[in-house]
Amino acid sequence: MRIGALEAGGTKMVCAVGDETGMIFERTRIPTTMPEETLNALVEWFQDKEIEALGIGCFGPVDLRRSSKTYGCITTTPKPGWAWCDMVGTFRRALGVSVGFDTDVNASVLGEVRFGQGRGLSTVLYLTVGTGIGLGVYLNGALHHGIVHPEAGHVLLSLHPEEHWTCRCPYHPNCLEGLACGPAIEERWGARAEALAQRRKVWEMEAYYIAQALVDYICILAPEKIILGGGVMRQRQLFPLIRSEVRRMMGGYLAAEELNDLDTYIVPESLNGDQGILGSLCLGAAEWAREHGGREA
């Protein structure tokens, strides 16, 4: 089956056509400007591709409650023009195909579960550390949603003993995203994160914050694996620092075989940045199956 995939981001839209086996036939990128212009360009790209379904992994917050009047919309984003933008409705009307919809991070965790590090597992987390921080939650074999999708980038943390900067989140004085996203690193240290590779203190503090959040996620959700992606995680020296902080902060409390080998438990994304687009393909296929009486994938 030919399926469209859209990874909808705040700066760019990544589009692809592929199939349910994870083959990608063609792809393109379209900059995210104002909704009308961007959505028109996306519809134009997809409309002659002979797709039977489209899957969208979208920046949030988004409405994922099927019973809601605003299901399929981006909700309260501060991004100009995009609040209450009807993503599912727009593509359904324009393309006349099944449209699967979830958060960008849930699409990423699904991509890793189907094609990457999460294969064969039933509870997997995907944390992206980039412009923002978000967590995709695959729980007991399904993407997790509750009253909203998880907003685990905003878990509250203890400040590092040497913290000298202010959390940049407008809602919380001490949340993970406000303390550890790429722009927070840049503000605290006065240079883009990419340029700070040699400054050990930067990455020790970053690992201290990320590890606290991971310990909370582990204690609450007991995942079988945690996958870390996003621009900031390209600093590979973060991995051993995060693992050793997780080990220290856990204090040996949880007895699970997986926690004895953190090298295979806390791992980098494995699909060369394609986890979101591959997961979006799966979202499209799942929605098609749902609407055609098949089993939800």
Query: Site residues (CB under 5 A) for Zn ion?
Result: 154, 169, 171-172, 175, 178
Q: Single out the segment in contact with ligand ADP by CB under 6 A; choices: 16-24, 157-165, 232-240, 262-270.
A: 232-240
| CB of 89 closer than 8 Å to CB of 189 | no
Instruction: Specify the residue, 17 or 184, whose C-beta has the smaller distance to ligand ADP.
Output: 184
Quote the CA–CA distance of 226 and 137 in Å, as a whole number. Answer: 10
Assign 120 to helix, strand or coil: coil
| The one among 144, 234, 247, 290 contacting ligand ADP by CB under 6 A | 234
- One-letter amino acid for residue 217 of the chain: Y
Q: Give the integer Cα–Cα distance in Å for 83 and 81.
A: 6
| Complete DSSP assignment for 126-155 | EEEESSSEEEEEEETTEE--SSSS--GGG-
* Among candidate residues 102, 3, 108, 101, the one with its CA nearest the CA of residue 46: 3
Give which of Zn ion, ligand ADP, none residue 234 binds (C-beta under 5 to 8 Å, depending on kind).
ligand ADP
- Give me the least distance between CB of 14 and ligand ADP, in Å please: 10
Q: Rounded distance, CA 124 to CA 249, Å?
A: 21
Interaction between residue 204 and ligand ADP (CB under 6 A) = no
Asked if 11 is part of the footprint of ligand ADP (rule: CB under 6 A), the reply reads yes
Minimum distance from residue 69 beta carbon to ligand ADP (Å): 29
Taking CB under 6 A as the rule, does residue 9 contact ligand ADP?
yes
100 binds ligand ADP (CB under 6 A): no
In sign, the C-alpha dihedral spanning 38, 113, 263, 224 is positive
**Single residue of 29, 119, 192, 248 touching ligand ADP by CB under 6 A:** 192
Closest CB 169 distance from ligand ADP, rounded Å: 15
Contacts with ligand ADP, residue ranges (CB under 6 A):
9, 11, 130-131, 182-183, 192-194, 230-232, 234-235
